[in-house]
Structure 1
Amino acid sequence: MADTTYLKKRRQTWYFVMKIPSDVRHAFEGKSEVVKSLGTRDLTKAQSARWALVSEYKARIDVVRGHRELTPAEIEEMAGQEFDKALKEMQEYGQDQNTCDVLIGYEIDRIETRRLSDLEYALSFARIKAANGRRAALNGKPFERPLTFGRSGIDPLTLLPVTVAKKKAKGASFRDVATRYLEEIQRDSAARITAQTQGQYEAVFRLFDQWAGSPELDDIDRAKASKFLTLVSSLDPHWGRSSKTKERTFSEIMDLYGNHEVGLSNRTINRFSMALGLVWKWAKRVGEFNGENPWEGQQRREGERRKVGKLPFTSDELSLLLRDKPEVAPEKPSYETTLRWVCWIAAYSGMRLNEICNRTIAEIKQKDGVWCFDITNAKTEAGDRLVPIHSRLIELGFIDYLKRQKGDWLFPVLKPGGPDQKRSWYLSKTFTTYRRKLGVTHLNPDNKTDRVDFHSFRRSVIQVLERARLPQTEVAQVVGHEKAGITFGTYNPDGLEVGTLRDVIESIHYPALESNASGSNVAAE
């Protein structure tokens, strides 16, 4: 029967496995065992490679217990550095053969007359070998670099020099592969992810790399992956919002945001797992990783989203949010004056925030006598559409406001911001502050997240239209959703005529708001 002591096979690869005694686990990150890929499918090669690791870890355990100061491998590494340093100094100072003989005599005397530690012995021996090498070079002869320098240079199990058990060739580092993965998926402008999503991926990758100590892909197994997800699950859901987060270490982030009373949702943890798993998947596709993807099967159960989903605004909330009518000619245009128009447009069109903020003057036009927002380059193909302007907005003076604008933009005060440089970025924050100041919030008791946001205007519009018994395909064309089924979606790609779309828009009514219509700003069209 094959000897598999200290060995374990996972899939087709052999791993080195060694138990760590309980009294020294604190020095091994609390691990009860060490597991390292041997990078081979060949049992014979694995059997040979394991002994160097056995010696290394037993020596490390002895160091922790105080039985020795350094492991043989550490002594050999330091002696090797001393050998290189001595050669360099001899060259720099132009030392001749006589000087080398003096140095050799001095070091031999130290070894024979003093009680040197294992490290001192190895350093002296390294200097002797360096002097011998210098002498050979002065005589025009080659000199083979020593394999060992210390007293314990021969491994008692393999009968080979300690340094012959070379470190495994450096594998693909997670940081490097993750960087190249992001570069690859962003190469094609038609298929790339948004800058916001890229930023989220980079935050997860940075957090993991910090925690794992800049690992290679082969260093991460399923147990480590699971441990990371468990640790980050205690983070404050808003841990990444600080501009200083990128500069903080994993420990600093956990100190500041860890052990939160709610922590991350399973849905967020699954996004972490998915993002990290994509790196390993890509590495396997390009031939830089051959093992098991440690992130597969790590997904956690998510609750039914309908129970914790976002909500439309109530009638009373709409009355609060739209209590101030927009100004046709504000004396000093600002984010506050712009927000009034944006909120009213959203409430009477169902348009998305960025669809409103990104409109130009040229995209407000008449078709068949109907004033419309002409939306192009929307979030989806179905989002490109004509949205008739509700008569309520015209009564408030929107067309007059439009004609007073100079330049290209409908709302010129808005500045691009955020990862994707959206014109809605800063206005979104202005709206959140305004909404919360009015007390318009619906906190989820489970995770303390707010169930209303600017998109709740859009939900309110869809709710009103559904309660008005309008066909779903008609509502979809106004709000920019795909038409269900192939009958209308495939065989009538042009959709409804603008007059019909206007009828859909005019079905948006808010009795509580419209009862105060007498106080509105009437526009001259």
Structure 2
Amino acid sequence: MPAPRNADRRFLELHGNKWRVVVNVPRDLRSAIGKTKLKQSLETDSLAEANRLKWIVFEALQAQISQLQSPETARAEALRLAALRRRIEDAGTDPHHIDLEIVSRAEELAGKPVGVDREGQPVFDPRKEDVAVQFADVAFGRRTPMDAHRKTYLDQLNVKARTRADDERAMGYLLDWCKREGVPAFLETFGKREAVRFADAFRAPKGRSPVTLNKYMVRLSIYWKWLESRHAVDANVWAGRTYTVPRVLNEDKERPFTEAEMVKLLSGQASQQMHDLMRIAALTGARLEAIVDLRVKDCQDGTFTFKPQKKEPGARDCPIHTDLKAIVERRVAGKSPEDDLFPEWPPVRKKGSMRERSFKASNHFTNYRREVGVDDVREGKRRSLVNFHSFRRWFITTAERSGQPESTIQTVVGQKRASIAFGVYSGGPSLDQLRTCVEAVRLPTSEDRATAPERLASAQAG
């Protein structure tokens, strides 16, 4: 037989001979509130009277907590309880005390009943009740939203801003599809069948290449793999879920500059900084971002120290070519070690921008390249087959044709060396070997090795 309603002791405790309301403060808000529980006396020794008075006081105390609590806070608390519950179950222990805490917290979120139904059962505010149900579903591990762990995941993700944006965009595409198709977006219910459906639908729109589509599929796979490592999902439903990339013929691949194109680029009416930039790229094989990010202190003792790019494990040294010494001396003169070598292209200052520092330098070069007639646009290709990266391809090609060892060329340009012997066991070529490799690369003609000011003066005089 159920206890009479006036004997209900929920949110009540006897203090001395008076009843008072007690509300637990969520763990993540205790430091902000400074207490683990909020308490207020009802100034009565009658339990029946305390039950009549408690709800007004309970709502007031709950309001204090709600002012500091957001949906994200409640979700974080539910995820914490769910993780704790899983650990207890994995240890073979009954999570009964955690279940009681979940039920108690869900009741707090549901708030005071706003009435009773025809059967005399309490009726709650629909919005608060929905929050309470979602909290309980997450905490009990029944329905965890796909993006519930995203903040923790992104905080641990050590990638560039553009890759992070791709990651978030991929999740956005998935959540939009779930909403559009009426697919529940929960980790517990989203399986391989749903992943296949999404992959088929994602491939349908025109305009996206398989390479671009695979980029997003990989980001989803990495997230699910991370969830699997935390026992948040049973398996990575995206494993092996990629699109076939059509074979690209040699004539359709991005390529090095030809000798004639190099002459056009190095003898054209470009700005001083562009002439300097092109020559450093051509005689180091370095990527654009690494070059524009150089500082004075990175150009010491006859070497450039380039910051790591792509999958490089750390900064690398590249000997400064003889034909670049005058450029470097001019650019470091009168500057401090922390000054930029290319202040003409400063870092992006807009907060939250995903653009790399080299963005404007890349646009500058593209405009100049087109002006001098160096272009190779093919139907169906998004960009020209020649671009700033073609300097890197040209350096590698020229070094190889000059008889330099492949492993040495790979070290100079920061590529992973192919064999286990060179890539794992070798300490790498000496600085003298790297210098020999760099010096083996020469610009097309002696005229093109002249300094930019001499070419510009000659052009103006003509």
- Shorter-chain TM-score bucket reads 0.5 to 0.7
What's the offset of the Cα at 1:200? 0.7
State the match for 1:332 in structure 2: none
Q: Residues of 2 paired with 1:486 and 1:312: CA distance?
A: 28
Question: Is 1:215 equivalent to 2:166 in the alignment?
Answer: no
Distance in 2, matches of 1:227 and 1:445, equals: 31
1:381, distance to aligned residue in structure 2 (A):
5.0
Counterpart of 1:106?
A: none
Structure 2 CA distance for partners of 1:490 and 1:225, relative to 1, 3 Å: closer
| Residue 254 (structure 1) aligns with | none
2:145 matched to 1:173? yes
SS at match of 2:388: coil
Mapping 1:16-415, distance limit 5 Å: 87=115, 126=117, 129=118, 143-145=120-122, 169=137, 171-183=143-155, 185-186=156-157, 192-213=158-179, 215-235=185-205, 260=206, 263-290=207-234, 293-304=236-247, 307=250, 308-324=252-268, 337-366=272-301, 371-377=302-308, 379=310, 384-394=315-325, 397-405=327-335, 408-415=339-346
CA 522–480 in structure 1, closer or farther in 2 if over 3 Å, else same: farther
2:405 aligned with 1:471: yes
2:431 to 497, 501, 512: 497
Match of 1:426 in 2: 360
Q: 1:266 to 1:425 in 2, by over 3 A?
A: same
Which 5+ residue runs of structure 2 have no aligned equivalent? Answer: 1-112, 124-132, 456-462
Q: Whole-Å Cα distance in 1 between the matches of residues 387 and 340 of structure 2?
A: 25
SS in 1 for 2:154: helix
In the aligned structure 2, how far is the partner of 1:295 from the partner of 1:341?
A: 46
Q: Which runs of 5+ in 1 are unaligned?
A: 1-83, 89-125, 134-142, 147-165, 187-191, 236-259, 327-335
Q: Contact 1:383/1:480 (CA < 8 Å) preserved in 2? A: no
Cα deviation for residue 201 of structure 1 reads 0.5
1:364 and 1:372 in contact (8 A); partners too: yes
Cα distance in structure 2, aligned partners of 1:180 and 1:379: 24
Residue 402 of structure 1 and its aligned partner are, at CA, apart by 2.7
2:295·2:339 contact (CA, 8 Å) conserved in 1? Answer: yes
Please say if residues 382 and 480 of structure 1, whose CA atoms lie closer than 8 Å, have aligned partners that are also in contact: no
Distance 1:382 1:443 in 2: 34
For 2:191 and 2:307, the matched residues in 1 are separated by 47
| Matches of 1:489 and 1:274, distance apart in 2 | 26
What is the SS of the residue equivalent to 1:322? Answer: helix
What amino acid maps onto 2:298 in structure 1?
Answer: E
Is 1:451 the counterpart of 2:385? The answer is yes
Identity of aligned residues (%): 25
Q: 1:226 to 1:438 in 2, by over 3 A?
A: farther
Runs of at least 4 residues of structure 1 off by over 6 A? none
The separation in 2 between residues aligned to 1:295 and 1:490, in whole angstroms, is 31
Give the superposition deviation at 1:437.
4.4
Per the alignment, in what secondary structure is the counterpart of residue 469 of structure 1? coil
Mark the CA change 1:504 to 1:289 in structure 2 (over 3 Å): closer, same or farther.
Answer: closer
Structure 1, residues 81-133: CA drift from partner, whole Å, max 9, x if none? xxx76x39xxxxxxxxxxxxxxxxxxxxxxxxxxxxxxxxxxxxx5xx3xxx8
CA distance in 2, matches of 1:201, 1:389: 38
Aligned letter for 2:143? G
Q: Contact between 2:166 and 2:216, CA under 8 Å: does it hold in 1?
A: no
| C-alpha distance after superposition, 1:307-348 (max 9, x if no partner) | 45431112232223222477xxxxxxxxx5433311111012
CA distance in 1, matches of 2:262, 2:306: 25
What is the alpha-carbon distance in structure 1 between the residues aligned to residue 189 and residue 423 of structure 2? 50
TM-score by length of 2: 0.59
Letter paired with 2:257? F
Q: Please, what TM-score do these two structures have when normalized by structure 1? A: 0.53
Q: Secondary structure at the match of 1:174?
A: coil
Tell me the secondary structure at the aligned position of residue 147 of structure 2: helix
* 1:437-474 Cα deviation digits (max 9, x unpaired): 44433335344443333211100001111111222133
- Equivalent pairs counted in the alignment come to 323
Distance 1:381 1:221 in 2: 35
CA contact (8 A) 1:473 1:483 kept: yes
The code of the aligned residue for 2:162 comes to Q
Residue 278 of structure 1: how far off its partner (Å): 3.4
Question: 1:383, 1:481 within 8 Å by CA — same for their partners in 2?
Answer: no
Quickly say closer, same or farther: Cα 1:412–1:501, change in 2 above 3 A.
same
Letter matched to residue 302 of structure 1: V
Matched AA of 2:145: S
8 Å Cα contact 1:229-1:269 kept in structure 2: no
Distance 2:313 2:269 in 1: 31
Report the more deviating stretch, 357-366 or 210-219.
Answer: 210-219
CA contact (8 A) 1:382 1:477 kept: no
**Which residue is 1:31 aligned to?**
none
Larger Rg: 1
Separation in structure 2 between the aligned mates of residue 491 and residue 212 of structure 1, nearest angstrom: 49
> What does residue 92 of structure 2 align with?
none
Is the partner of 2:300 in helix, strand or coil?
strand
CA distance in 1, matches of 2:232, 2:353: 30
User: Which letter does structure 1 place at the counterpart of 2:273?
Assistant: T
Asked if structure 2 preserves the Cα contact closer than 8 Å seen for 1:474 and 1:501, the reply is: yes
Q: C-alpha distance in 2, partners of 1:276/1:519?
A: 49
Cα offsets for 1:60-88 (capped at 9, x unmatched): xxxxxxxxxxxxxxxxxxxxxxxx76x39
- What secondary structure is seen at the aligned counterpart in 1 of 2:333? helix
